Amino acid sequence: MIYIGNHLTSSKGFEAMGKMAMALGGDTFAFFTRNPRGGSAKEIIPEDAKRLCELMPAQNFGKLVAHAPYTMNVCSAKEDIRQFSKDMLKEDMTRMEYVPENYYNFHPGSHTGLGTEVAISMIAEALNEALTSEMNTIVLLETMAGKGSEVGAIFEELRGIIDRVELKDKIGVCFDTCHVWDGGYDIVNNLDGVLEEFDRVIGLDRLKAVHFNDSLNDCGSHKDRHACIGEGKIGLEAMKRVVQHPLLQGKPFILETPNEDAGYAREIALVRSWMV
Ligand code: FE
Ligand code: FE
Ligand code: ZN
């Protein structure tokens, strides 16, 4: 069994998102910690967060997978963007404490010309400044498609970041099926092999969540265009094998497919019908 849900908007608050997830048939969800395009964060109402924290165990929810804004880039060549991103990351860690024991996923970043090695050090430095031993959130590095100068399309790069992070129990990885495929890992013909490689390079104990997306493009395309489940190049059968894979059971799966509410409800039901 896995947990399934989709991205919801946080404008109406935490409890409203929990109820929305349930209305769509989900038992987890993702939300942006602030406007996905960046900017200031909405004020958190502690009682609202608390109501979600009560609703989740009562409804047997899996862990939530918060998402950092897309504008966050802690390894930008521009110093001001780097600093702004580090500040956002730190602030988001304190915000996540209102809904403790969940995940916070972020894109490692784009090196914008600095090169991968420099970027890896910068990402680790940002994490070392933001993570504290008291916090109750696990930060997830997302596997990336490798578009432009993105860091993290290769498992070794994620391993490089993790190696430099001091508080290793606070760090994990989110496995995005579209991104991994676009990054050149053939989850259609060799899902076992890809997971074996993940285990060898990073360790499967770090794989905490899945972004469950089909892809418009071919394996290794580095494009990052998501498709609805079964309507892309990964396809229905391969997507089903991901849901049913023994090594991925118990994890939250988040849909980031191009859908409205009705489409998400349909995909959630479809994934449920595959659950083992
Ligand atoms: Fe993402
Ligand atoms: Fe993703
Ligand atoms: Zn993507």
Rounded distance from Cα 52 to ligand 1 centre (Å): 23
Query: How far does the centroid of ligand 2 lie from the alpha carbon of residue 211, in Å?
Result: 5
Task: Please state, in angstroms and rounded to a whole number, the distance separating the CA atoms of residues 4 and 176.
Answer: 14
From the CA of 145, how far away is ligand 3's center (Å)?
A: 7
* pLDDT confidence of residue 10: 67
- Both tokens of 144, joined, read 């990336």
- Secondary structure E strands in the chain: 3-8, 30-32, 65-67, 103-106, 138-142, 171-176, 207-212, 214-215, 226-227, 252-255
How many Å lie between the centroid of ligand 3 and the Cα of residue 108? 13
The reported pTM is: 0.97
**For residue 253, what are the β-bridge partners?**
4, 210
Compute the distance from residue 67 Cα to the ligand 2 centre, in Å: 9
Neighbours of ion ligand 2 (CB under 5 A): 176, 211
pLDDT at 43: 85
State the Cα–Cα distance between residues 129 and 222, nearest whole angstrom: 30
Instruction: Quote the pLDDT of residue 132.
Output: 98
40 Cα–ligand 3 center, Å: 23
What separation in Å is there between the alpha carbon of 256 and the centre of ligand 2?
7
Q: Which two tokens stand for residue 63?
A: 């862990």
pLDDT in tens, 219-255: 999 999 999 999 999 999 999 999 999 999 999 999 9
Mean pLDDT by 10 residues, the chain (276 residues): 92 92 98 80 91 98 96 97 96 96 98 98 98 98 98 98 98 98 98 98 98 98 98 98 98 97 98 97
CA of 228 to the centre of ligand 1 (A): 16
Distance of CA 255 to the CA centre of its chain: 10
Span from the CA of 14 to the centroid of ligand 2 (angstroms): 21
Taking the CA of 209 as reference, the closest ligand is 2
Å from CA of 46 to ligand 1 middle: 26
Task: Name the residue type at position 52.
Answer: L
Closest by CA to 215, choosing from 183, 242, 193, is 183
Which pLDDT score is estimated for 40?
76
What's the gap in Å between 142 CA and the centre of ligand 2? 7
Residue 139, helix vs strand vs coil: strand
Q: Are 132 and 90 in contact (CB under 8 A)?
A: no
